[in-house]
Amino acid sequence: MGGQGVTATAISGVSRLSDELGRFAKLERNLGVLLLFAPLVLILFDDGPDGVRDSISAYHDVSTPEAFYVPLTVGAMLFFVNGFVRHAHVYNVVLGLALLGVVLFDHEGPSALHTVCAIAFFGGNVAVMMFFSTNKSKRLKVIFVAVLAAAGALWALTSLFWAEWVSLGIIAVHFILDSTSSSPYEALPAGEAPKLVPPG
């Protein structure tokens, strides 16, 4: 009887843990969607006369400041949830801190901290998606590369704003796929060494 009780308790504990992880995965998906639409929020709340600004950072002084810092802070929470809770991915904690730096440091100030944080955030996310995730199909890798190329073209032909929005879209898709149980795509499991060459 005692053994059966211990087994039932263990099964119950595993079930609760599975439910908790499922809730965190759902939270990740919702935060990913919010991050995807953050630039749209900036456009909608900007009452400036110049149309779409040159970059997301240029909205730092938007007339409704909450439209800038709330969505991006929510985005940073996406990285912290993944980094601290779901997988213990330290690199996502670093990326979350970089995104908070984008929010905290004005891009027009005398400090270069904003630029450093922005480069660390976008560059770091590219590295994570290319080298710190597993089970990417060739099709998915081609799509990632094509979308990144499109972001570069948008930067060259239009403005950094559109390139940043496309990049946020890739980041959001990365988290949504990683948190969906039906998708084989996943971030590198905690404790597993990163692969310098993405898997085939």
Q: How many angstroms separate the CA atoms of 127 and 125, rounded?
A: 5
Q: Determine the pLDDT at residue 10.
A: 47
Is the pTM here over 0.85, yes or no? no
> H-helix or E-strand containing 138?
helix 138-157
Q: Determine the pLDDT at residue 97.
A: 93
Q: Determine the pLDDT at residue 176.
A: 77
Identify the sign of the CA torsion 128, 133, 136, 138.
Answer: positive
Token match 């891009």: residue?
A: 107
pLDDT digit string, tens, across residues 63-91: 888 888 888 888 888 888 777 766 657 78
CA of 92: how far to CAs of 49, 162, 195, in Å?
37, 24, 17
Contact 60, 107 (CB under 8 A): yes
Q: How many angstroms separate the CA atoms of 102 and 24, rounded?
A: 25
| DSSP one-letter code for 137 | -
Per-residue pLDDT of the chain (200 residues; tens, 9 = 90+): 445 555 655 455 445 545 665 666 777 788 788 888 889 999 998 887 677 888 888 888 888 888 888 888 888 888 887 777 666 577 888 889 999 999 888 877 677 888 899 889 888 877 777 766 665 566 766 777 777 778 777 777 778 888 888 888 888 877 777 767 655 555 555 555 544 434 44
Torsion angles phi and psi, residue 186, rounded to 5? -155, 155
Closest residue by Cα to residue 195 from 140, 148, 146, 130: 130
Domains of the chain, by residue range, sit at 14-187
